[in-house]
Structure 1
């Protein structure tokens, strides 16, 4: 297990479960009978060949010198991981979110593979839901989204699709010319490649002190960088409990793209500006808005192959000034665009390994936030995490049931009581808000503020045009 992946197990505690999740809404096909969801549950629990990712559990021993690794669960129990639930009446989205909040609050059993899937029926409108959670040590948000994509189909006619955890036959790979070389030649190429990788990593590491000095200097000047020293104290930056509350809603991508096109911003910039406006309104309502701008940590996905390893988590970070101190929506959007552009420019001068090192420096203080009293002695490293995970671009189906919405759910930390994760799906952008139930009051109100923030941005860019 890589150090980054094992960190998610090491820092996990009852008040901070370290799993990511997703809540998906499905509309059954017209020919679905009353036992449609139960039949799907029986199909999914009858899987006999489970993919290796879903069979491995964490383990450590004297042999591993206490370090976390993976081992296969020899007593794998599919019915522990796949469960069938029903909502109480009246079966509204409110009841669905309440159930999902409770499911997202509980720790995964470390004696078993670290994932669960819950099929949920009983919605009054006839739809059903699937809540899925998996430990961050196994996958990051992008990888979790890909797990969904591989089981869904673009065709409503396709039925009997395999469960997400079902083993797939290996895909034959075309044999390239180097693989047809002689054994001696192949060994020489392997050795040469390994040497080049080792020299590259050594060169990256040698450059870290210079990159560190440049990064810290930018942070001290309040310039965008993987490290921030200017985040104010807010109601989000306090110790948290293990209880969660989630909220979710989607907005048309066409509206977000129009704002971006008119305002010279990317889709992600507009999403961040929506969050900035919503957070400003929410904190103002609670009489808790700081005089200086909130700082969001925005994850940036890296290519794991560039890091000379396979799988796991490969994520860097940019600290984004949200402009929450600015009353005008257009000014906030401009502040976000400027901050993200400068932050990406700062990352562009680093290698992937250096980005990871600087991002670890910027997010590392999170590991210390659980120490009693620390929040009262120092500024938070940032105020919250806002991430945007690309999702499927066209409508998808599960055994004929149309996927109506997919909402990502993530991880609050001690000192980081609110997380906002977004994902695009077909023609919509879905927002998943995960907060500490005790620390973040009236979380649902943020959805209304997000809606008004998007309207304000539309009016702001129209006024400029």
Structure 2
């Protein structure tokens, strides 16, 4: 069966090269069920491998040829080999979290081959405390971080006694409703996720197109005035904004959400503001140690979910939209309270700027703001032109309560995202069961001693608590 690849997914495929694999990943930690034997990891692997029917999303691969007129299409892999995709690995002694993160970084460094469906899963044993890890990676042409989290949640249960949960790639995880066939194969939750009604109404399209010039003028004006919007014109050059290699280093750690919430409550800011302030302070200290801190504030690209402004003639229903805000991180400020206040103000201004637009306009302005990050590497202009932003910081919501996979308690989940040429560091957070899990992924050569950022993040939480008086 042949199906077209949408332009966004095709862009992720075509942008990929050896130095810039375009897959997203996740690392989950599980405690064995009570009474589980020493071979539990093997049993877990076999349960995930021995699937009767694979979901359509996981058996298609990209293809183009003369018969497709050179266009990229999805085709079903007629030689699908589950043992290539689901693997069983073990850590070297002493089996610390350090060895686990090192393995995850190496696995995340390799490209997914086009001649097979674009995903892998590794059941990993050998942690000294007996926990079992699951590392998965899926090409961004298939899913983004939010979609990947939804796939994971779909096979977890709040019932520790339940034993019928399938693997994420099992066809039982998704039985399409009428008219919803293969909807899951499209990237959801990314910058292209806007209500489908926007494309169904000719009147709505005309209305939004008519408003596009005004949205563009407002966005450009804010960028020129160095105010927060979808476009940044004042990001400084940093060590993060260089050509990268394909090798990755990964670091991860949890912080209690209650600590972050207390800081936000005491300062009148949001948890996301506090997360950004943690990253701001950590990056500031990290760059200071390397004598590489710019005098002007770093800028982070922050994906945000918005409820678009409704319009009487617009084609949308004012549903959820995903946009990008270029947040000023205040890294030029020494006081953590001042950085948090500046970040809160920047994010508030950015959301207000996007809230005046329809979802289609949000998508267009966000894409325009990110265009330099894509064009500069293609034209080999990194270091010549000013970067549109310095790093990516995103926050993906996860389950709020304890979840299990066939009795195995999930005790941690950490995202691995995508560094790109000119953007060597990506910080993604996932909330789960009262904790905020940070996943830091960076080019192993461009971002030296990446693990130091975890120490600085922890120090910054304490500094923010002291500044907030909590």
d(CA) in 2 for partners of 1:100 and 1:308? 44
The equivalent residue for 2:190 is: none
The equivalent residue for 2:228 is: 224
Q: Is the 8 A contact 2:241 2:421 kept in 1?
A: yes
TM-score of the pair, normalised by structure 1: 0.91
Residue 136 of structure 2, aligned match among 132, 135, 149 = 132
Kindly indicate whether residue 199 of structure 2 is the aligned counterpart of residue 199 of structure 1.
no
1:405-439 CA-to-partner distances (Å, cap 9, x unmatched) read 00000000100000000010011000000000001
Report the alpha carbon displacement of residue 29 of structure 1 after superposing the two structures with TM: 1.3
The equivalent residue for 1:180 is: none
Kindly indicate whether residue 215 of structure 2 is the aligned counterpart of residue 211 of structure 1.
yes
The equivalent residue for 1:322 is: 329
Kindly indicate whether residue 27 of structure 2 is the aligned counterpart of residue 23 of structure 1.
yes
Aligned to 2:361, the other structure's residue is in SS state helix
Q: Is the 8 A contact 1:239 1:369 kept in 2?
A: no
d(CA) in 2 for partners of 1:59 and 1:316? 30
1:299/1:124 Cα in 2 relative to 1: closer, same or farther (>3 Å)?
Answer: same
The equivalent residue for 1:52 is: 56
Stretch deviating more after TM superposition (193-202 or 110-119): 193-202
The equivalent residue for 1:299 is: 303
d(CA) in 2 for partners of 1:384 and 1:246? 15
Stretch deviating more after TM superposition (16-25 or 51-60): 51-60
d(CA) in 1 for partners of 2:455 and 2:251? 11
Instruction: List aligned pairs for 1:272-351, cutoff 5 A.
Output: 272-301=276-305, 315-351=322-358
1:375-394 CA-to-partner distances (Å, cap 9, x unmatched) read 23211000000000000000
Instruction: List aligned pairs for 1:286-435, cutoff 5 A.
Output: 286-301=290-305, 315-371=322-378, 374-435=381-442
Kindly indicate whether residue 442 of structure 2 is the aligned counterpart of residue 438 of structure 1.
no
The equivalent residue for 1:12 is: 16
TM-score of the pair, normalised by structure 2: 0.90
1:246-290 CA-to-partner distances (Å, cap 9, x unmatched) read 000000000000001111111111100000010111001111000
d(CA) in 1 for partners of 2:158 and 2:120? 25
Residue 256 of structure 1, aligned match among 260, 264, 267 = 260
Aligned to 1:449, the other structure's residue is in SS state helix
Q: How many residues align?
A: 442
**Runs (5+) with no aligned partner, structure 2:** 180-196
1:194/1:435 Cα in 2 relative to 1: closer, same or farther (>3 Å)?
Answer: closer
1:143/1:361 Cα in 2 relative to 1: closer, same or farther (>3 Å)?
Answer: same
d(CA) in 2 for partners of 1:121 and 1:128? 5
The equivalent residue for 2:194 is: none
Q: Is the 8 A contact 2:376 2:385 kept in 1?
A: no
d(CA) in 2 for partners of 1:68 and 1:435? 29
RMSD of the TM alignment (CA)? 2.3
Residue 452 of structure 1, aligned match among 454, 459, 462 = 459
Report the alpha carbon displacement of residue 369 of structure 1 after superposing the two structures with TM: 3.0
Stretch deviating more after TM superposition (68-77 or 434-443): 68-77
Q: Is the 8 A contact 1:85 1:121 kept in 2?
A: yes
Instruction: List aligned pairs for 1:102-251, cutoff 5 A.
Output: 102-168=106-172, 197-251=201-255
d(CA) in 2 for partners of 1:220 and 1:147? 40
Q: Is the 8 A contact 1:276 1:323 kept in 2?
A: yes
Q: Is the 8 A contact 1:47 1:166 kept in 2?
A: yes
Report the alpha carbon displacement of residue 9 of structure 1 after superposing the two structures with TM: 0.6
1:203/1:60 Cα in 2 relative to 1: closer, same or farther (>3 Å)?
Answer: farther
Runs of 4+ in 1 over 4 A off after TM superposition: 169-175, 193-196, 306-309
Aligned to 1:338, the other structure's residue is in SS state helix
d(CA) in 1 for partners of 2:424 and 2:344? 25
d(CA) in 1 for partners of 2:364 and 2:304? 13
